[in-house]
Structure 1
Amino acid sequence: MTTANTIVLVVDDKPAIAELLKYSLHEDEWIWHSVPSLAQAWDFIGRERPDLLLQESMLRHEGGMRLLARLRGDRRLRDKPVILLAAECGEGERDAPLPPPEFIPQPPPEETPDERLLRSGRLVLDPLSCTVRVGNHKVEVRQAEYRLLRFLLCHPGQVFTRAQLLAHLWEAHDTLDQRTVDVHVLRLRKALGRAKSLIKTVRGAGYMLSAS
C-alpha cells in the first residue's frame, strides 16, 4: 500500500478533512482525491479504482454506511480496503452488520491507567476522567479548550493550521472565523498557567504542542 502510485479517496463533506489527513499521515507520494458525496465517490471508484478509501461515517445529508454496503455487495470491489472515520459512533452505526475489523478506531486492549494518560512535561490529561493536571494541581478547562488540548497532545510536535483545527474540532467550522482558534488557544494558555509555554505559535503556519 505504501507505493508512490497508491490512490487514496477521501469521502467527506468537510473539505479541510482531506488536507488534515494528508498532513497527519505524512504520505506525500500518495495520490490524494476527495469527494463530498456518495454519488461522486461511486463514480470515482468506477473510473479510477482507488487503492484505499477513507470515508466519513456520518455525512451530513446521507447515510455514510451505504457506500460500504454497496462495495461489499459488489464482487469486484468487496475486498477494497475501507477505513471509516468517526469521532463518535451513533446507535445505528454500532448495530451495523460490518465484517470486522472495518470500524476504526477500536479501543486498545487491556490498557493500564498509566498507558491511557496523555502527557507533555508536567502536563497530564486523562481521557477517561476528562481531567487535566499540571504537576499535582488540577486545571479547570472548558469543553472546547479540553478538545483542543487533547488533540494537540495526541499529535505532539506537529503544526496545525487554524483551518485544520477548526475542521477537526468544531462541527460548524464552515460558519466560524478562523480567529476562533486564537481565542480558544488564548483561553487554554491562561488555564494552563505555568505550562502555557507548551502551546507554541508557529508564525505564519499555526499552532503546535511541544513534544518535550
Structure 2
Amino acid sequence: MTPHILVAEDEDSLATLLNYNLEKEGYAVAVAADGEDALMMIDEKLPDLILLDWMLPKVSGIEVCRRLRARTETRNIPIIMLTARGEETDRIRGLDTGADDYIVKPFSMSELSARIRAVLRRLRPGLAEDRVRIGDLVIDRVAHRVRRGGQEIHLGPTEFRLLDYLMQHPGRVFSREQLLDAVWGSDVYVEARTVDVHVGRLRKALNREASADPIRTVRSAGYSLDLEG
C-alpha cells in the first residue's frame, strides 16, 4: 500500500514543492495550510507520516504534535518537524514534544527524502517490505503466506488484507470505520460490524497454536496489533 504523508506547511511555495516531489517518489500526499486543518485532516484519514512545520498559524506545529501524542489513535504516527529554528534548545523542545526527527530550513529534497525513508524503515517497516516480521508473526506479501511460530496460517483474502494493514502500523489503534476504508475501500458500503466478524476470524486463525492474542481490542476505539517478541 502507498504510504500516505500529510504535509502541514503554510508557505505555499514550499508546500507545492514538497507535494510535487513526494508524489514523484511514489507517496500519496495531502497538504494542510494551518494547524486546525492538519488536525481535521488527520481525524478524517490517519497518515503514515507527518511533515509538520513548527510555526503553523491557528494551531502551532508544536501544539499539533503535543495533541497527537496525547491521543491513543495518533500517538504512534511518525512526525518530522520542519522549521527555520536551528538552535539546540528548540531542537530539543521539538523532540521532547514527541517529534521523531527534525530538519532545519532550508533543506534539500534529497536530505528530506532520506530522513523520511529512515523514519519509515525504523517505525513503519511494514510499509516498505515484502516480508514483515513482528514477534513470531511473519507475513509474506509476494507468496501471500502467513506464519506464526513457524507454522503456516491459512487466511481468507479479507483476513489477509486486514492483517497486512495492521502489521503495517503496529501499535496504532484503528476504528472500525478506518479499517473499512483501508481494507474494503471507501467506495464500498459495508456495515461496521463486518469488521468485528473478520477480526474474529483472523483471531481464531492466528491463535490456534499460540496463547498470546496479537490483536488488541480497545474499548470504544477499535483494534490494534500488539505483539512483542
Please report the TM-score for the alignment, with normalisation by the length of structure 1. Answer: 0.50
Please report the TM-score for the alignment, with normalisation by the length of structure 2. Answer: 0.46
Specify which structure has the higher proportion of helix: 2
The structure, 1 or 2, with the larger RCO (C-alpha pairs under 8 Å, 6+ apart) is: 1
